[in-house]
Amino acid sequence: MSTPGGAAIRAAAARAVAAVAVHGRRLEDAVAAATQGGVPRPAVQSLSFGTVRWHFELAACLSILLDRPGSKQDPEVRALMLVGLFQLQHGATPEHAAVSETVEAMRALGRPRAAGLVNAVLRRFQRERQAVVAAAHASRAARHAHPEWMLDAFARDWPADWESIAAAGNAEPPMWLRVNARRLAREDYRARLAASGLAAEPCPFAPQALRLAEPVAVDTLPGFADGEVSVQDAAAQLAPFFLAAGPGMRVLDACAAPGGKACHVAELEPDLAELVAVDIDAARATRIESNLARLRLSAHVVVGDAGQPATWWDGRPFERILLDVPCSGTGVIRRHPDIKLLRRADDVARFAVQQAALLRTCWGLLAPGGRLVYASCSVLAAENAGVVGGFMAEEPAAVEVTESARLLLPGALPWRPAGPGCALRSGAADADGFYYACLEKKT
């Protein structure tokens, strides 16, 4: 069987981009669907992720290059033109190949009549790139490649840093590893990587974290299948240190999938009385079990709604609860660029209502003297300090624990006190944007 060529790859990328932009599908799902016919997934993923990452800039350029409104274009033809513009503006493919393969992809899409239009648009962009990009960048959304409402939110909550947050959202994400502390020391695993020709740097603030110089496929990582290492961003690796679970404690990870934080908790404390990992999605709960098995760890995995504990809770309180809430994901846009297209401004308020309800419910599962860690990968105050502060105003037994944050604040990680809790902007220390707040229940 012949290997699919560049035209087939670009056609598949266009299908994935159109599925996100027009039909609201998650980009990872769209790429999986577009590559079912044997088209190389890494190549399609690179093109589609890059095109979605820069969509607001590329779409503004395309509207200048087209004589007719974009709404009248066939969605896949339009998406293919965006893929072509991405290659010319941000890609490494030689321009002549990018143009010719993208034009040829029209036939792979079954729309050969549009090949002339695609060719004309891309060649005009080659000739007039500087003027077209300058005109497109008159729009702030195009200039920063984010929707206006999101830029407004960044500027409101991070007035000195909003441009850095937007730039981080447009960057290729690094690959962070978490070394299994039960199995070996970080420096020992770093030596194993070096022996395999992989360079990595230790994280100055997360003691099990290594950042690879270049991302690689996980199956090429030494010891991955044997549970020596996992892939997890450095900011997410701080959750167990805020949680501070000790021997004999019952611990709940309330929204646990895919299980990275629950596994990290188990790696650091082998003598827990019980670790319960709950997730509402059965398929995602299976991923928790797979990660536990690979790492040779144990936990009680429950498919259930953390907001409806009557369906799964046995009535015994937990000494520690990690509540990593569903959120807008604005701190992890560099990993999930489709967030720019799929989220809407009013989603933030809906998430905040859901988050507040989860916090109130999980608080009822916490033992007196116990600790609840509220975490999110959002950089928006409405989902973070707004939720936690509102809860504390209504719950006199909730007291913020600041010791954990103080231990981290003087270090290499540029936390910003967020009153309550502390926030990390996207890209700071090359980590994802994150928020943590530690609450203890007064006895």
Phi first, then psi: give them for residue 284, nearest 5 degrees: -70, -30
> Contact, 105 vs 34, CB < 8 A?
no
> Contact, 304 vs 311, CB < 8 A?
yes
Phi first, then psi: give them for residue 225, nearest 5 degrees: -65, -25
- The greatest distance separating any two alpha carbons of the chain, rounded to the nearest whole angstrom, comes to 73
Half-sphere exposure of 257 (CA within 13 A, CB side): 15
Distance CA 73, CA 70 (A): 5
Q: How many CB atoms lie within 10 A of CB 69?
A: 8
Residue with tokens 């988050």: 355
377 is catalytic: yes
Phi first, then psi: give them for residue 286, nearest 5 degrees: -60, -35
Contacts of 424 (CB under 8 A, 6+ apart): 235, 331, 413, 414, 415, 416, 431, 432, 433, 434, 435
Query: Two tokens at 244?
Result: 């501070």
Catalytic residue, candidates 203, 255, 327, 377:
377
The continuous run of DSSP H or E covering 412 comes out as none
Catalytic residues: 377
